[in-house]
Copies of this chain bind each other. A is one copy, B any other.
Amino acid sequence: MRAVVMRNNTLVVESIPDPIPGPGEVLVKTLACGICGTDLHALQFAGILGAGSRSSGGVFAIDPNRDIVMGHEFCAEILDYGPGTRKRFKPGTRVCSMPKLKRATGDEAIGYSSENPGGFGEMMRLSESLLLEVPNGLSPEMAALTEPMAVGYHAVAKARLGWRDVPLVIGCGPVGLSVIAALKIKGAGPIVAVDLSVRRRELAIKMGADMVIDPTDKSPYEAFGPGGPARRFLARILNPARHAVIFECVGRPGLIDDIMSNAPRHARIIVLGLCMERDNIYPVSAIYKELDLHFVLGYTGDEFASTLRNISRGKLPVQPLITGKVGVGGVAEAFVELRSPQHHAKILVEPWRS
């Protein structure tokens, strides 16, 4: 099959052997697969990403010296069944799955493993037990957004928002946008969102943000203070009985400390941004204000399934997030464009395209 292969920190289109489904596995055709910020990180920091996962018991099996077909945000179509399968769905059925394989020897990553090619190739193998049928009529590209939208859903669930909590979302890339959408579903608000890009601030509004802030224009934290420019709008925030819950959705070194030093007392900081580098913090400000930091990653199976259902029912307005589509030949260029994402949120790869 044709696939985009990561090799020595570059992306090349290659013809590689078709994956063979093992026991309990299905062979699928990739219909659409999103490019994730973590894929960009992996291209740059493959070693760190692999070592970090290994040392913390994660499933990523990234060896920088071996080819990897990335892609873990996919919708696919069933082609064939491996041995020992129950064949619950007919070939041709559209499915989503969490990007991992359930195996007797333990879970394995799809897309971050040299053994299990991801959605930047024409075909994948998936575990039958993890398949979710795409509800009738939902397009593959919208279904492919299940994975990134589940990330925000999980983070908001972990934040355990109470009625006193007021969310502030720092960064409106796909991760921040998925947090905003999940907050909207929860009825949390007012939702304040921050991004440098005017395009992304527009998307934040579409996803449910009540107010967007350009941090070059004014500090988002001022909004929490008594002299804040957003005072009237944020009257609920300014009530001292309410607590800020700040979602860090960028992953740039220095940002956690910036949030800690500017956050109001008793704020909770939910860290989704995947900072791969060494970072500096001044713990003293966090201690004085009794801040909580919750580092979050991924989602549960239930959260993943709920997200697909929410998309199919129109509760998650994901269509505006899709800002580009490419075939395998366009992936390398798409990675470059996503490094300075003034225009893009999510670019989908359609490996079947010529």
Q: Using CB atoms and an 8 Å cutoff, list the residues of chain A in contact with chain B.
A: 48-49, 52-53, 55-58, 158, 251, 256, 261, 265, 271-297
Contact = CB atoms under 8 A, between A and B. Distances in A.
10 contacts: A56-B285, A158-B290, A251-B283, A278-B280, A279-B282, A280-B280, A280-B281, A286-B295, A287-B296, A292-B294
Given A55-B261, A265-B57, A284 B276 contact: yes
Contacts of A284: 48-49, 52, 274-276
A288 B256 contact: no
Contacts of A265: 56-57
- If over half of A's interface residues share one DSSP class (helix, strand or loop), that class is named, otherwise mixed; here it is mixed
A297 B287 contact: yes
A64 to B, nearest CB: 16
Nearest to A283: B275
A298 to B, nearest CB: 8
A296 B288 contact: no
A283 B295 contact: yes
Nearest to A262: B55
Contacts of A283: 251, 256, 271, 273-275, 279, 295
A162 to B, nearest CB: 14
